[in-house]
Structures are given as structure tokens and as C-alpha cells.
A and B are shown apart, each in its own frame.
Chain A
Amino acid sequence: MLKNMKIGVKILLVVLFMSLGTLVFAFVNAYFSMDRLSDLFQRTNVSLGLTASDDSKEALQAQAEEYLTRIAGKQALYSNQELREISRMVTTAAGYLEYLYANGERFAGRSLPLPDQTVDGVPCSKYTLAPGVSRTDDVWREVCLLSNCEAVFAPDLSENSMVDNLYVGTVSGISYRYSRSNLYNRSYDPRRQDWYQRAAAHPDETIWLDTYTDSFGHMCITSARAFRDAQGNVAGVVASDIRLSDMLGEISTAKIGQSGYAFVMDRDRQLIAHPDYFTDGFQKDIAAHVQAGGSGLEAAQAPDGKSTGIVRLTLDGVDSYMAFSILEETGWCLCICIDRDEVIQPALDTKETIDRITDDAQNATQAFMSASMRQFVIFCVAAGILVLALSLAVSGSITRPIKKLSRSVERIGKGELDTKVAVESADEIGSLAAAFNHMLDDLNAYIDQITWITAEKERIGAELSVATQIQADMLPNIFPAFPEREEIDIYATMTPAKEVGGDFYDFFMVDDTHLAMVMADVSGKGVPAALFMVIGKTLIKDHTEPETSLGDVFTEVNRLLCESNEEGLFITAFECVLDLETGHMVYVNAGHEPPFVAGSSGIYQLYQVKPGFVLAGMDGVQYTQGALELMPGDRIFLYTDGVTEATDAGKELYGMKRLEEVLNRHAALPPEQLLAAVKSDIDSFVGEAEQFDDITMLGMIYKKKAGRGVKKVVLDAKLTVLGEVTLFVNRFMEQLGCDERVKGQTDIAVEEIFANICHYAYPGEVGKVTVEVRMEDGQRLVLTFSDSGVRYNPLEKPDPDITLGAQEREIGGLGIYMVKNIMDEVSYRYEDGKNILTMVKCI
């Protein structure tokens, strides 16, 4: 497709492609870079947002964890201190009680009131007795002893706000209490209480009891310790209740942040402090609050060995952080929980902000890019139009001269060779045009030269072709050559190798009964050979006469040829003359190929003759003639070396043997077909190879001997040859020695009959007339006229009346009348399509 485009279009395309291509490439590159940048920007922003939020999230989480853990730890520490304080207080109280019991005699004590004898809300000592215990002296003395405790218990109670009371149960069933409350239960027996029994079971050890809800609904825990009497027996147990709310302080109720809260669980993982503790249906088991999958639950459930820490778990359906800390004193676990979302909310806020900023930046970039695209398209269109205009201008300036050149060349192609290419630019096309003009000049000069040479060649060619025609015309080439001669059949051909050949054949009647045949080959080819051949042929024919020996003929011809042979040409020639009446044939040879003769056997055989020297080879050569006898039916074949030396592509010669074979293969054929057969055999032998030499052949059959005394001539039926007819007849009569009178009369008869045939036999054309003359019985002269014209018997015409006067006489009819009068016999017959008129004159 590209090859069929005009150059202008090609240039246009190239420039457009280069410029717009570059533009588009640059833009696409820029666009994609921009796009990639924007993409990268976006990605960076996103990851920045993510990282920022993640980082802040982590930071916040870490912070929250640390904070929570610290709070939990602090709270636990604080609570533990409180507990330890209580524990120490109880231990001190137990020590003091042992001291009292060991030195009871030294302390008088005082009486104590019953609870209902006291003012509620004012701290004071009070006692009760378990049911079944009566107020004996011992019991009373012991009650009084216990009253001394107030000195120790009162400061403790006042100093420690958490401590609500301090109380003692004894083995004897006394219940002493220093408290603000004055409520009491009459059926209360301290020895049956859990705290009493467990502390008594572990003397010398301060124990903590499980939490419980006191009579006022407060969550409390109790610390207790047994004490011994002087004898070392357990005398009772001292204990103190602490309200858990007091101990845990604000932490148990106060919110931490928006969603944070604290709780405590005991060793058994039962919740003992929780903001929702007093809500109906509150589950005390921590397991009920922790949803499955809560990681770190195990740590929370079994925080042994881990005094403090933080775990993440789902608590009451909320993804939470839980900080915990173990209280050493009681083994409880203090936990502070906070919603994870609250912790990471700032991080999420940050991320949202970053995302928003990123989106804004992204949108701005997109807007910028589409604006760039729009600008680029406008720019591209503008550039395209500009480049198109520029390209058209440039390509036009290149193709215009080319088109001009092309138009000029077209005109030159149509034969206007005087056209000049009018391109005057200084570029390559200008040079081409100049070169073209130059070439045109050369071409014109060359054409003139060629024209001259061609004309010259044509002239020579024409002349050569005329020469060829002349040469062909010089050789007897009308066949049958002697139609009136029944004695012989002769045929000859020459196929020249070049336009004008050096071979020639000839045959002619030397006289009425002698047929001469010549076969010759002039050395060399072309015009010189042809001219030499003409001379040779003419000389031979001219010198061949009935009475002259052929040896003398060639001797003389040789002499004449040598006189004017500056070219150094020579002729090989064979001539023979056959006497048709006797079959006697004389011949002479001048270096020519011997003839093939087929005798009575019918087989062609090479007839060896004395070679002789070539004609024109050397002056003064004497030639001698030979002779042979031919019988009717015998044949002769003459040829030149063009036949035997015909060469095929493999340089093999045709040769004598092949010639002899082909002659005998076709021996029965008449000469014309025989020559054609030989020629086609040569042609098939030679094949595609070039013909180097003229191929010339002559064949003749001697059919029968000529009758003696019979003369025959074939002439055109026209009055102009009348002289020849009378001459022919007169010659015959002269030989017979007829007198003038008879000759004159016979002339008249011959003329009248011949003129009659000329006038009537061939209307509108010229036919042939055969005239035969012979002698019969030594005195009868027989004349026969035959023609192939219109059938007409002139003898049927009535004789004219010769007695009429001049005015009555008719013109015509006189001729036949005279013939009838002059001749002794006149007869007519029509035979084989011929009018045959026979006249006899007795002499």
C-alpha cells in the first residue's frame, strides 16, 4: 500500500507521523507519568493515613494500656495498703487482747451497755451475749475486761474511715463491739459465725474472709484473728469489717473516661465489686461477662504469678482493654476496663482527616490532569493543522518538479523527443532533470545514428533480398520444368544458409534432344559468392553447346573465370548432358561430389567419376569428359556438400551413408517427393542446430527415350509468338529439305490454325498450345495443334462463297477455307479435354 502512494502523500505521512507522533508520545508519557504520580500520591496518602492512624492507634493503645495498667496498679497498691492496714490493726488488736487476757487482774474495766442502750451513729463499745449464755460473774468480769479494748479500738476507728467497727467474739459467747451502729441481733452467737470459726481454726494468723453483704446491704469484707489466754488456749477472735466501697474508694463507682469502669473479683473469680453489682440479675461469675474469644481471659481468670497486666477481651459485648492487678493481701484481682473504640477513636479521627485530605488532593490532581488533556488536544489539533500545512508546502515543493519531470518524460515516451525538461531547481531533482536533458540529447543523437544505420541496413537488406530473389529467379524454379517432355521428370531445390547462397543448380535443353544438368558450389558465402556463382552459371550455360565436348566447356569456363578472379574464389561443379533419344550421358567434374545413380537395379549408388580440379582454382587446367549410358527408368541425384556436411547439435555430419540410405528408402518416389524426403530427413537429423551451408539437390528420372523425328513445342496461345510457331515448323521442314512453296503454304495453314486458337480457345486468358510436327512414311508432314481451351471444331464452319463480288463478300471464314485448300488432310478430334487438330501435307 505504501508503494502505491504518491511521494507527496508519503512525505506528508512521514512528517505528520514524526511530529504528531512525537507530540503524542510526549503527551502520553507525561500523562502517564502524571497519572502514576497521582496514583503514587494517592497510595502514599492512603498508606500515610493508615500508618498515621495505625501509629496513633498503637500509640493511643499503648498509652491507654500503660495508663490503665498504672491506674489498676495504683489502685491495687492503694487497696492493698488499706487492707494491710486493716490486717495490722486486727493483729494489733489481737495482741492487745492477749495482753489483756494475760494480765486481767491488772485491768478493772467498766461495765458496758447493751446496743440498744447506746446512741446510734456515735462510736461506742457495746456487748451482747449469745443465746444460752447467762450473765455470770466470770462472764461479766470478762465483759469488763473487754471494755478495755475501747482504748485501742477507738483511735483505730476514728483514724480509719474505712473501719466501721471492731468486734470480738469469745469462747464464752460474749460479743463485744466498738461501732457507730447500735443495731443488733438478739440471736447472734459469735462462735457460730464464719469469721470466728475460720480464725479460730488458724490461730496466730490474720485471715481475710470472703465478701459479704452486711445487714445494711453494704458489701463488706472481714479480717479476723484469734487470740489466746494466759494459758495459751484460744480465748476468742477479734475481727473488723470494712465496707468495700470505702476500701475501693471512688474507683469502684467512678467512670474512667467515657466508658471506663473498675471492678474486683476474688480468688474464686467471683465479682465482688462492680458498678452494676446491685442491679437485678447481676451475674457474679466473671465467666458470664466474658464472651467467647476474649483473648487474655485465661490471664484474667488465672492471674497467678502475674501481679499486674493488661489484656484485650470482649466484655459484656464490648471490645475492651482490661487492666488488672492482684492484691497481695487478699489475692483479689482489681480490674479496670475501657472500650477499645474509645481508646482508638482519636486514631480513627486522624485517619479520617488524612483520608479526606488525600481525597481532596486526588481530586485536585484529576482535575488538573483532565485540564492538561483538554489543553493537549487543543494543542495537538493546532499543531496538526500547522504541520499539515507545512508538510503540504514541503511535499509540494518536492513533488511538483517530479510531476513536471514525469509529464515531460511521458511526452518523450509518446515520441516528442525534442521536449525539454523544464525543472530548474538546484536540488537533486534539478540535477536529475539536467541529466535527463543531457540523456535526451544523447538519445536524439543516438537515434539519429541508429536511424541512419537502420536505414543503411534496411537498404542493404532490401538489396540483399532483391539479390536473393534475383538469384532464386536465375535458377530454373518453375516445375514441371518440361511439361511437354514425357521422357524426363526433373526437380531441384536450393535452401540457402544465408540470404544469398553460393550454391547453384541449373538444367536446360541444349537442343531439342539434349538435357544439360549442372550442380555447383562456390567457395564462400554471401554476396561475393553469389556474384561469382552468377558468372559461373552464365559461363557454363553459354558454353554448353550440342557439338562441344563438356571437357572443353569446363576448360574454357575455367580459363574465363581465372581471368577475373581477384577474390580468389573457386567453384566445384558437375555437369552432365543427357541425350534423350539414346540415353547416352556425358559428364565433366570439377572437384564436385560424385552423383548418385540408380540403374536397372533401382538402387541409388555413388557413381565414381574422376574428380578434376575446381573451376577458377588454377589457370590452364584441362578437363576431360566421361560418359555413361542411361536406360529408361534410370535415375540420377546431384547434390552439394551442404547435404552431406549438414551438422547436428553434436557436430556430427549427415554423411554419405545416411544420404544413400534415405535415397534408397524413397527410391521409387518422383524427384519432387524424393528431394522433400531427403530434406526432411536432413532437417530431423540437424534438429535445432544452425544451417551452415546451402543445401542444394537435383533429382532426375529418365522415363523413356524420345521418339526420333518428332518435334514438339508448347507455347502461349497469343499472336505475338506466331513467329516462333512458324520458325519451329519451318526448321523441321528445312531439315527435311522442303521447297519454298510448300513451306509458304504450310506457314499459312499453321498461322490460320494458331490464330484461330489464339482468338477462340481461351477467352479472356492466355492458355497453352502444343504444336507437334513429324514425318510419316517419309512424305507425309503431320502437324498437330492441341489446346485445353473451349471445345470448338473449326472445320464445321461452312466455306465462304468465293464467287461473290467484293461488296457481297464477308470478312472471316477465309482462314479455315484456305487451310482446307492448302493441306491434304485436315481433321479434328476432342480428346482428354483437349481440342486436337491434325493436318497432313504431302511432300
Chain B
Amino acid sequence: MNIERTENGEEIILTVEGRVDANTSRELQDAIIMAFQSANKLVVDFAKVEYVASAGLRALLLGQKTAVSKAGSMKLTHVAEAVMEVLNMTGFASILTIE
């Protein structure tokens, strides 16, 4: 899994590529927490993520909770079908901001 961080004004964009599984989710989680320390708006681009396991969902949940507590926002963009299926299955689709 690779994470690319770009800044667009007040927004931080994390472009994730690869599988977000039990081994890699920690990296994503850390990146999200780090991003919220310098910005209130976060965009996580999932265009190149084909696989998310429960560990990845936990990282996303933690990010969402941080966004709420900071009165910021976390957007998930370009979610693939397989990943969307998981988000739907777990009710995350209604929690997260997905575009």
C-alpha cells in the first residue's frame, strides 16, 4: 500500500494505492491522524484501493471521529465497487462522507 499526501489550500488529499489490510491499515490510520493535525479538511482518494478489510475500516472510522471532534471533514472519493460493497455491508456508507 502506498499513500501520497498532497495539500490543496486548506485541504489535504491522501491518495491511497493498494490493499488496506491488517498489516497496512496502521499506516493509513497514522496518515489520517497526522493530516488532521495540520488541517481540518481531509480528502482520502480511494481510486486505486481495491481491497479494504475490517482493519482498514477501523482507520477510516477513527478518521471520521477525529473529523467530527475537530469540526472538520473527511471525504472519501473515487471508491471502487468492491470497497463500496464492504462499506455498505458494514453500514459505513452512511457514516462516512463519500463522493
Give A residues with C-beta under 8 Å from B: 719-720, 722-723, 740-741, 744-745, 747-748, 751-752, 755, 758, 802-807, 809, 811-812, 814-815, 817-818, 821-822
Contact = CB atoms under 8 A, between A and B. Distances in A.
A143 B42 CA distance: 235
Nearest to A751: B53
Given A741-B82, A747-B51, A814-B90, A809 B95 contact: yes
Interface residues of B, number: 24
A358 to B, nearest CB: 139
A748 B86 contact: yes
A748 B52 CA distance: 8
Interface of B is mostly: helix
A744 B89 contact: no
A807 B53 contact: no
Interface in B42-99: 50-51, 53-55, 57-58, 61-62, 64-65, 68, 82, 85-86, 89-91, 94-96
Interface of A is mostly: helix
A751 B58 CA distance: 15
Contact of A821 (B57, B82, B89, B94): B89
A818 B61 contact: no
Contacts of A719: 22-23
B82 A815 contact: no
B21 interface: yes
A723 B55 CA distance: 15
B54 A752 contact: yes
19 contacts: A719-B23, A722-B23, A723-B23, A740-B82, A744-B50, A745-B85, A748-B51, A751-B21, A751-B53, A755-B22, A755-B55, A802-B91, A803-B94, A804-B91, A806-B65, A806-B96, A809-B61, A815-B54, A821-B89
B89 A818 contact: yes
Interface of B: 21-23, 50-51, 53-55, 57-58, 61-62, 64-65, 68, 82, 85-86, 89-91, 94-96
Contacts of A809: 61, 95
Contacts of A805: 95
A818 B65 CA distance: 21
B18 to A, nearest CB: 12
B87 to A, nearest CB: 11
Contacts of A752: 53-54
Nearest to A744: B82
Contact of B68 (A751, A807, A812): A807
Nearest to B21: A751
B54 A818 contact: yes
A335 to B, nearest CB: 173
Nearest to B91: A802
A198 B49 CA distance: 212
B43 to A, nearest CB: 17
A814 B58 contact: yes
Nearest to B60: A806
Contact of B51 (A744, A802, A803, A814): A744
Contacts of B22: 719, 722, 751, 755, 758
A155 B25 CA distance: 210
Contacts of A722: 21-23
